[in-house]
């Protein structure tokens, strides 16, 4: 040690810099898959989450099929079988969108426990936490949809198109569910408790799903509600699923609104628009969110 070194002012040990998020598409995908795996493992350890998520739509299938099946007219027919085929696309769509509340509650729970803050301190891609969560919810929704389809077949639901078209119908349903999970993510980041996220995730879904063509034909609604229903993104996916499943009544003529005339294109456009808009808002909220 030299005299000059003794006389020089003692320099403080520099503090480590906060980790910076890693960029790049590949890194973002990897980080998202890690988070998705974490959430799937968590879901597998709480099987009642999946069980209760399946019970509700099954109850809707049974109740609507046997309680209302002979009372609601579909294109002039009150046949329970005709209504059952008309109904199932609506039940499928309602099931995938109601998963929004679970997505919001899960993120709000992570926020409440401080887990989001810990994730934000790690050098991971922006938005990977939310993307991973929504992907895990998509897997759970897919499992629920498979079980629900089996129950629907047991109560008499049938498709009348090719396997590829049926698969395409389910893909559109899952795309809608994935889009709505980003709305749930934004709600979960905007509230303080999981209970508030659950309430906030359901309160707007009921008018969205019931002012639609899911359970009754929109043609039977008053003009004002009919216009809302026909331009409802939920209705577009329901109509597209019915087309792809071959579940429209014989001789059915679609309403004049553009989404009802071109439901498959409208469904894709609505879902992509919702993903782009609410993913942007959710990631922005995530960057500034505090527990």
Greater confidence (145 vs 66) lies with 145
- Residue 235, sorted as left (phi over 0), alpha (psi -120 to 50) or beta, turns out to be alpha
Per-residue pLDDT at 129: 85
Please report whether residue 13 resides in a domain.
no
The model's confidence at residue 221, banded by pLDDT at 50, 70 and 90, is confident
Q: Where are the alpha helices (DSSP H) in the chain?
A: 3-7, 25-44, 47-67, 80-112, 115-120, 128-154, 163-190, 194-203, 205-210, 223-230, 233-245, 258-261, 263-288
Q: Which residue range is the domain that position 120 belongs to?
A: 23-288
| The pLDDT value given to residue 248 | 86
252 occurs within a structural domain: yes
- Range picked from 43-57, 197-211, 267-281 for highest mean pLDDT: 267-281
Q: Residue 107's closest CA among 93, 127, 121?
A: 127
**Residue 74 β-bridge partners:** 77
Nearest to 165 by CA among 83, 99, 247, 222: 247
- Chain-wide mean pLDDT for the chain? 82
pLDDT category at 182 given cuts 50, 70, 90 is: very high
How much is the average pLDDT of 129-142? 89
User: Considering its fold, how many domains does the chain have in total?
Assistant: 1
**pLDDT tens digits, one per residue of 240-259:** 999 999 998 777 788 888 99
Look up residue 119 and give its two tokens. 């994730």
The pLDDT confidence band at residue 73, using thresholds 50, 70 and 90, is: low
Is 78 inside any structural domain?
yes
Reported as a single tens digit per residue, the pLDDT across 20-32 is 555 567 887 888 8
Higher pLDDT, 176 or 36: 176
Question: Taking 90 as the threshold, does the pLDDT of residue 203 lie above it?
Answer: no
224 is a domain residue: yes
**Average pLDDT rounded to a whole number, residues 42-70:** 76
How confident is residue 9, by pLDDT bands cut at 50, 70 and 90?
very low
Q: Which residue has the higher pLDDT, 291 or 44?
A: 44
Say if 9 falls within a structural domain.
no
For the stretch 34-54, pLDDT in tens is: 888 888 888 777 777 777 777
Q: Please check whether residue 5 lies inside any domain of the structure.
A: no
- Is residue 40 included in any domain, yes or no? yes
Residue 226 lies in a domain: yes
70: CB partners within 8 A, 6+ apart: 78, 79, 80, 83
Which region holds residue 78: left if phi is over 0, alpha if psi is between -120 and 50, else beta? Answer: alpha
Q: Identify the pLDDT of residue 125.
A: 76
pLDDT bracket for residue 270 (50, 70, 90): very high
Q: According to the model, what pLDDT value does residue 69 have? A: 63
Percent of the chain whose predicted confidence (pLDDT) is above 90: 32
Determine the pLDDT at residue 84.
82
């Amino acid at each position: 040690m030299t005299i000059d070194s003794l006389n020089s002012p003692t320099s403080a040990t520099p503090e480590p810099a906060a980790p910076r998020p890693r960029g790049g598409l590949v890194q973002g995908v990897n980080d998202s898959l890690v988070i998705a795996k974490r959430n799937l493992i968590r879901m597998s350890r709480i099987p009642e989450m999946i069980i209760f998520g399946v019970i509700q739509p099954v109850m809707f299938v049974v109740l609507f099929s046997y309680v209302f099946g002979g009372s609601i007219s579909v294109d002039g027919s009150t046949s329970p079988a005709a209504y059952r085929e008309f109904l199932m696309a609506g039940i499928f769509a309602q099931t995938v969108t109601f998963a929004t509340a679970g997505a919001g509650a899960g993120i709000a729970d992570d926020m409440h426990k401080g887990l989001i803050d810990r994730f934000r301190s790690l050098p991971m891609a922006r938005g990977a936490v939310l993307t991973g969560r929504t992907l895990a919810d998509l897997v759970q929704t897919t499992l629920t949809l498979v079980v629900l389809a089996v129950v629907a077949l047991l109560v008499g639901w049938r498709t009348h198109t090719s396997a590829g078209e049926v698969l395409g119908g389910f893909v559109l349903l899952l795309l809608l569910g994935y889009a709505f999970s980003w709305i749930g993510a934004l709600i979960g980041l905007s509230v303080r408790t999981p209970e508030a996220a659950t309430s906030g995730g359901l309160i707007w879904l009921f008018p969205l799903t019931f002012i639609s063509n899911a359970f009754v034909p929109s043609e039977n609604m008053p003009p004002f509600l009919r216009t809302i229903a026909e331009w409802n993104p939920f209705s577009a996916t329901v109509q597209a699923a019915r087309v792809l499943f071959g579940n429209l009544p014989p001789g059915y003529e679609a309403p004049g609104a553009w989404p009802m005339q071109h439901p498959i294109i409208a469904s894709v456009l609505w879902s992509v628009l919702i993903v782009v808009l609410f993913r942007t808002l959710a990631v922005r909220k995530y960057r500034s969110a505090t527990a």
